[in-house]
Chains A and B, each alone.
Chain A
Amino acid sequence: MNNSIALKSILTKEIQRFTRIWVQTLVPPAITISLYFVIFGSLIGSRIGEMGGFDYMSFIVPGLIMMSVITNSYSNVASSFFSAKWQRNVEEMLVAPVPNWVIVAGYVGGGMCRGILVGLIVTLVSLLFVDIQLHNIWVIIATVTLTSATFALGGLINAIFANSFDDISIIPTFILTPLTYLGGVFYSISLLPEFWQGVSQVNPIVYMVNAFRYGFLGISDVSLVTAFSVIIFFIVTLFTIAMVLISKGIGLRS
């Protein structure tokens, strides 16, 4: 059995899915990010002045790109895997000799492709508003890749447990969005009172946004080693959970 072909099949199917409905998947982030730039960057940002030694617009660009990557990686896998459960075409993979890790890797890979592609689109849109600096391209690539993998895994676990389409919007609405907004996208956590700085340490998105911002601007509220350790910890944990759930057939086999 050639697992690489099975993996490629799942990945191709996933990429075909989100590109087939590009108006729903690729255009909205570009519009949303443009609005953020106009409102927070140009209108409000010009009154804020500098943040972390950079003008506000330049400061928020990495966070906004990362926000799009997180949201799209998560929602791609959550909606695609849940749709496959709902239409029962997930059974096409379950009856075939596809190892569980290939199923996980295929869906997560699809989510990462959408997240990174949306990240690129948003980066291109941001060039219309601000000159983007590059401090360390490898940190940018590593952070975006690992972050999209983390949230694609999260989306997969959400879809495994989901019993209705409502269930795949609850976590993004009530957990993901607040964590992202409180994750230092719009501000440096050093501005927060000490207590809230401590609380922010348990928010994984703080580490992702700051590592990503370091790649662009060379500034970060947390150390890179800590940031990558946290991200890798989440990837390993979520991958293990996803594998156990699929192996046991939770939400998939009766």
Chain B
Amino acid sequence: MTYALEISGLEKTYKGGFQALKGIDLTVEQGDFFALLGPNGAGKSTSIGVITSLVNKTGGKVKVFGYDIDTDLEKAKSFIGLVPQEFNFSQFEPLVNILVNQAGYYGLSKSVAIQRAEKYLKQLELWDKRDEPARSLSGGMKRRLMIARALMHEPQMLILDEPTAGVDIELRRSMWDFLKALNEQGITIILTTHYLEEAEMLCRNIAIIDGGEIVEDTSMKKLLAQLDVETFVLDLQVNLTLSTLTQFAEQSKSIAYRVIDDHTLEVDLNKSQNLNQIFEQLNTANIEVLSMRNKSNRLEALFVSLINKKSSTTKAKHQSAVVGVN
């Protein structure tokens, strides 16, 4: 089977000696919606830079739809649409020119380019601005312009590097719908984001990169299944009293909970427990729940634990190395 993206032993050491990628291996299947997550400086943008040939790798192999970027770079590039993290279009050119020129770089005729520019500017609600210079757009519009530009040659793989950074929630949601629709059409999407809720909602598979190494590479479902404890915040109908609390405490000895204030409880739920049990016990104690939410995003909890685990392993290795030297 040909993967949309196949990376093996990818290394990048910058001129100053900083090793941004330490031999990463990664595969993304065709049609996948894939999240590449990691803290700042983890190597996400460097990986994307290498895949799109904006960064020269120092080792390893990258194949895009089976085409090796070392031997078939131009063919590999034709499969990729890139939405970079930073705005990288001419601020002085009108939107329609930016899109038509971009299509031209992929060998599309002007008539096809104009049709597509109209299609994507309309889909991304930028058609009214088509003749205005790009510098006059708001931040959210500029992000949408970069998505339109990346789609002009109708790529089979779209790479988005933090596409919703600094975008308001309404616009972010409309972008999610747009990306989901693209993925349903069969376009492979690779997404990096700091909004873990976004990754959890959109992506089927996920890799977490930290310090230039892949620390997790699995499906979203499997990753979330690793979560041992989930914390729920319960907003209560009436004030908690000492008697209701005592009654609840007696019945729910196996449940860890914290009283946040007289209207709010936090409950930790582990894998062996279920919400029905908790509600049963709350009911018996005459505690009525108005609403309930996750305290933090589930993926966020896992992300933090994985990054912390990596960090403590690195520290331990460093300490043992220091001891060894001494």
Expressed in whole angstroms, the Cα–Cα distance for A96 and B81 within the complex equals 9
A254 to B105: give the CA distance in the assembly, Å.
22
In the assembled complex, the CB of A32 is this many whole angstroms from the nearest CB of chain B, namely 25
Give B81-130 interface residues, CB cut-off 8 Å to A: 82, 84, 86-93, 97-98, 100-109
* Nearest-neighbor residue (CB-CB) of B46 within chain A: A254
A199 at the interface (CB under 8 A from B): no
Among residues of B, the one whose C-beta sits closest to the C-beta of A16 is B97
Q: State whether A8 touches B104 (Cβ < 8 A).
A: yes
Tell me if A28 counts as interface (CB < 8 A to partner B). no
In the complex, how many angstroms separate the beta carbon of A161 from the nearest chain B beta carbon? 16
**A225: chain B residues within 8 A (beta carbon):** none
Choice from B54, B91, B104 contacting A5 with Cβ under 8 Å: B104
Contact A13 B97 (CB under 8 A): yes
Known contacts A96-B102, A96-B105; decide if A91 and B88 are in contact (CB<8 Å): yes
Instruction: Give the size range of B's interface with the partner.
Output: 35 or more
- B77 contacts the other chain (Cβ, under 8 Å)? yes
Contact partner of B90 (CB less than 8 A), chosen from A1, A5, A6, A84, is A84
A81 to B178, CA, bound (A): 34
Q: Which of B119-153 contact A (CB under 8 A)?
A: 149, 153
Query: How far in angstroms is the closest Cβ of chain A from B12?
Result: 9
> Which DSSP category, helix, strand, loop or mixed, fits chain B's interface?
loop
Number of interface residues of A (CB under 8 A): 29
| CB neighbours of B87 from chain A (8 A) | 88
Closest chain A residue, CB of each to CB of B106: A96
Q: How far is B142's CA from A87's CA once the two chains are assembled, in angstroms?
A: 14
- Tell me whether B49 is interfacial, beta carbon within 8 Å: yes
Chain B residues with CB under 8 Å of A254's CB are 14, 49, 54-56
Chain B residues with CB under 8 A of A92: 88-89, 98, 101-102, 105, 149
Residue in contact with B104 in the complex, picked from A6, A88, A91, A95, CB distance below 8 Å: A6
Closest chain A residue to B55 by CB distance?
A: A254
Is A193's CB within 8 Å of the partner chain B? Answer: no
A5-23 interface bits toward B, Cβ cutoff 8 Å, 1 = contact, 0 = none = 1101110110010001000
- A3 in complex: contacting residue of B52, B82, B107, CB < 8 Å: B107
Do B90 and A93 touch (CB < 8 A)? no
A253 touches B55 (CB 8 A): yes
Assess the A95–B77 pair: CB atoms within 8 A: yes
B53 near A253: Cβ-Cβ < 8 Å:
yes
Report the separation of the CA atoms of residues A236 and B80 in the bound assembly, to the nearest whole angstrom.
Answer: 34
Per the bound structure, the CA–CA distance linking A16 and B52 in Å amounts to 28
Judge whether B280 is part of the interface by a CB distance below 8 angstroms: no
Q: Are B88 and A97 in contact (CB under 8 A)?
A: no
A6 touches B105 (CB 8 A): yes
Interfacial chain B residues near A13, Cβ < 8 Å: 93, 97, 101
Is there a chain A Cβ closer than 8 Å to B70's Cβ? no
Q: Determine the distance from Cα of A254 to Cα of B56 in the docked complex, in whole angstroms.
A: 6
Neighbouring B residues of A253 by C-beta, 8 Å: 53-56
State the Cβ distance, A246 to closest chain B Cβ, in Å.
12
Measured between beta carbons, the chain B residues less than 8 angstroms from A87 are 88-91
Residue B78 at the chain A interface, CB threshold 8 Å: yes
Chain B residues packing against A (C-beta within 8 Å): 14, 49, 52-56, 73-75, 77-78, 80, 82, 84, 86-93, 97-98, 100-109, 149, 153
The contact sample of 10 A-B pairs, CB cut-off 8 A, is: A1-B78, A9-B104, A12-B104, A16-B97, A89-B89, A92-B89, A92-B98, A92-B101, A95-B82, A98-B105
Q: A91-B54, A95-B52, A96-B106 known; 6 other A-B pairs, CB under 8 Å?
A: A9-B103, A12-B104, A89-B88, A92-B105, A95-B53, A97-B73
